[in-house]
Structure 1
Amino acid sequence: MIMLKLGRLPRYKSDRSVVLVTGGARGIGLQIVRRFLADGYQVAFVATRSEHVEGALHILGGTEDQIFAESVDVTRQNELMVFIDRVRARWGEIAILVNNAGISPKRANQDVPWLSQTSIEEWGRVIDVNLNGPFNLIRLLAPAMIAKGYGRIINVGSLAGRAIPVIAGPHYAASKAGLVGLTRAAARDLAPYGITVNCIAPGRILSDLTGPPEAPVNRSALSRIPVGRFGTAEEVAHVAAFLASPIAGFITGATIDVTGGEFAA
């Protein structure tokens, strides 16, 4: 009989410890920031509204050597570059990028098709935040990751980009489907340099952004989830922590569905 000797399981945390999370002040992004802080990383995050940044910092606590955040619009490249330079001056190069920022406008009239309610301006704004923002950040951070021979890039997509969107609009679905394609393309380009690029596709995750479980839209969504419950932002954060870790080095170009079986169903 062959006996396998099991050593200590590796910790999630890497010595490449600087993380940048976009949309980190609320919902899934806030829990991702919280999880990385708990794992001992130095975490920088951005959000568009300054009051949300301040509120998140109050909730999270931590010292200046653990957490750094500012109000930044991910569609404005100059703002991103200034923030990245400040993170580098404080802690060094960013090794882990989590593209979580996203917007999902709601339909004003449920009886009128989505497409006829979607203006060119609204379409452009959603694509800018949800797809162009991640592209710009990958482009800005990849050179330093290539130089170091290490990096982790995690894009937060959506079930709406994987299946027929039931709740989200066409702009949101298109942007999240595009994010899956961007993940695969970037994974192919960056794999030779020790950089992995993956996507997480959450389903119905309860947070302050999705409203209470008893809301009609949530009650309807529950009937489509095989496991019979909603997901939590913490569950998405656990997946992000794993994909960011050294032990996930053979996973790249993948989309991890966190949907309670809804995508498979």
Structure 2
Amino acid sequence: MSDARGTSSAADNGRVALVTGGAGGIGLAIVRRLLEEGFRVAFVARQEDHVARALDHLGCDQARLMAEAIDVTCLEKMTAFIDRLRRRWDDVTVLVNNAGISPKRRDPGAPWIMQTSPEEWQNVLAVNLNAPFVLTRLVAPAMIRRRAGRIVNIGSLAGRAIPQIAGPHYAASKAGLVGLTRATARDLAPFGITVNCIAPGRILSDMTGPADSEVNRAALSRIPLGRFGTADEVAGLVGFLVSSPAAAFLTGATLDVTGGEFAA
């Protein structure tokens, strides 16, 4: 599925963002924030109905949108999507690696590592860690030619501390994303490209469920600020990292958006 309604203004030239997992929760909030920042935004998500619903939510902003239902682990389809994006608009100047999956625990009484199959392990790492690596390699050459670009990886508290809810595959993938961020920031800094990671804690979304669920009540007790985060708060930090001149010297960092839980 794609959406190509409307045309872009000259003010948008050179401000093209690609967001993965952009159809809901944090991803949709990031897409909306980047539109507010003046970007033309392309996003992908796995399910076509989710993409359609996101476009409806975004309303009149669709003039500067391009969206398709694509699995980020499919290199051929993502490469073709980026080629279409480039032909329609321009090279990607901002990449936000947000797509992620977190399988639920099946047996709370058994060690999670023992109920994680090798297939499930590989699937989680393919989406959460391999895809950001591959997509960075796809967009980096154009950023290098321009000697400018900003990349943001969306990690997790589970990759920074002992995971309270997530499984070993999710924790490992998000910890790996922190390492990938640091290494990529080092490699791309000479070309004026910044790479940073945002590690959210408990953010209320479709993935985390209602605030009054048993799991969320337990999670709330660990947050010093005494509340859950919002998708807009994460999106606001993305907007700062990719748009603000004040973020130009910030690279290789992991910014914890946890209400103080990581520091506690």
TM-score, structure 2 as length reference: 0.94
- Cα deviation, 1:170-213, whole Å, max 9, x if unaligned, reads 00000000000000000000000010000000000001211111
Residue 176 (structure 1) aligns with: 174
Residue 61 (structure 1) aligns with: 59
Residue 44 (structure 2) aligns with: 46
Shift of 1:15: 6.1
Amino acid at match of 2:59: G
C-alpha RMSD of the superposition: 1.2
Residue 164 (structure 1) aligns with: 162
Which consecutive residues of structure 2, in runs of 5 or more, have no partner in the other structure? 1-10
5 Å matches for 1:81-100?
81-100=79-98
For 2:61 and 2:101, the matched residues in 1 are separated by 30
Residues 14 and 246 in structure 1, CA contact (< 8 A), matched pair in contact too: no
Residue 240 (structure 1) aligns with: 238
Match for 1:225 among 207, 223, 226? 223
Stretches (4+) displaced over 6 A = none
- Cα deviation, 1:199-255, whole Å, max 9, x if unaligned, reads 000000001211111000000000000000000000000000001024111000000
Which consecutive residues of structure 1, in runs of 5 or more, have no partner in the other structure? 1-12
For 1:207 and 1:184, the matched residues in 2 are separated by 28
For 1:264 and 1:86, the matched residues in 2 are separated by 43
For 1:259 and 1:62, the matched residues in 2 are separated by 32
- Cα deviation, 1:48-70, whole Å, max 9, x if unaligned, reads 11111011011112355400100
Q: Match of 1:31, SS?
A: helix
5 Å matches for 1:3-82?
16-62=14-60, 65-82=63-80
Match for 1:148 among 146, 152, 156? 146
Residue 205 (structure 1) aligns with: 203
Q: Match of 1:206, SS?
A: coil
Q: Is 2:248 the counterpart of 1:249?
A: yes
Residues 96 and 151 in structure 1, CA contact (< 8 A), matched pair in contact too: yes
Amino acid at match of 1:194: G
Residues 107 and 169 in structure 1, CA contact (< 8 A), matched pair in contact too: yes
TM-score, structure 1 as length reference: 0.93
Shift of 1:139: 0.5
Residue 261 (structure 1) aligns with: 260
